[in-house]
Amino acid sequence: MKLVWSNPKTAGASAAVALLAMLVGAPSASAVEVTVTIENLAPVNGTFLTPAWVGFHNGDFDLFDVGSPASSALERLAEDGNTGPLASLFLGSGAGLVEGTIPGPNGPIAPGDVASFTFDIDGKQAGSRYFTLASMLIPSNDAFVGVADPTAHQIFGDDGEFLGADFFITGADVLDAGTEVNTELPMHTAFFGQQSPDTGIDENGVIHTHPGYLPVGSGGILDAPQFANGDFTRAGYPVAQVRVTPEPATAVLLAIGLLSLVRRTDAHPAR
């Protein structure tokens, strides 16, 4: 690469910009720190999310298909928020090696909460290129949100360059696992009074768009004051924003290094 500096007084800044472009665009030679951030955008007294399961893979990990039965691992997440079986399924698939569960500040990800975790990922490996996510919507019998298309969110390019992701989940994206009848009885409904896992009535159905909670006045979830704003079927209801970004500390260190370069170059301009 040939750099042409037309103005000696701006040579340092030009060098810094060029260096930044090369560092951002160049493939990573080793693992890089990538932060996954999940922000619950629901209103106060709205819906919660269970600690979210996330995974990085080669594009072959098909978490679920609408219109088909849920796997037993997805059933456990959608009914009880248990990510353990899903993690085991993922690691046994051979599609990827990096996965984890991201809790909120107090466990569940409450309205207004921001949950994040930083992973070390080698973007050059094919098994790190795509991102997937799943979380139970609570309270519910078996409502969940997740990434249906395994190649929807490519985090690294084919040469290892970082692409990242930033997307929203709305109420229209909430799915019903089809594994448990939506009784909304406290004894059957997670985060609404259920005392032990897998205690609901089996539905033996397929994954489909969730129809929403029972109407107000029926004694269900929406009649509880703490979930009065939980009707996620309202148009544009915000559930969450998900971002996959370079670890902020790495960006700060890079900026400091570039600033030092600018100062040194400006102190000794090219002649």
Return the pLDDT at 247.
84
For residues 162 and 150, give the distance between their C-alpha atoms in angstroms, rounded to a whole number.
18
| 262 three-class SS | helix
Residue 176, CA distances (Å) to 1, 74, 213 in order: 53, 11, 11
Which residue ranges of the chain lie beneath pLDDT 70?
1-30, 248-271
Tell the burial category of 244 from Cβ atoms under 10 Å away from its Cβ (0-12, 13-18, 19+).
buried
Return the pLDDT at 5.
26
In the chain, at which residue ranges do the beta strands (DSSP E only) sit? 32-40, 48-49, 52-57, 98-102, 114-121, 130-138, 143-146, 165-170, 175-176, 208-209, 238-246
| 13 three-class SS | helix
User: Do residues 136 and 84 make contact, with C-beta atoms less than 8 angstroms apart?
Assistant: no
Query: Quick one: tokens of 163?
Result: 């692409």
| Largest interatomic CA distance in the chain | 81
Query: Quick one: tokens of 116?
Result: 């994040």
For 123, which DSSP code?
T
Return the pLDDT at 53.
98
User: How many residues make up the chain in this entry?
Assistant: 271
Q: Which of 65, 202, 209, 223 is nearest to 137 (CA)?
A: 209
Domains of the chain, with CATH numbers? Answer: 30-247 (2.60.40.2130)
Return the pLDDT at 249.
55
Return the pLDDT at 19.
36
Residue 219, CA distances (Å) to 140, 156, 176, 213, 233 in order: 14, 47, 20, 11, 18
User: Do residues 79 and 140 make contact, with C-beta atoms less than 8 angstroms apart?
Assistant: no
Return the pLDDT at 267.
52
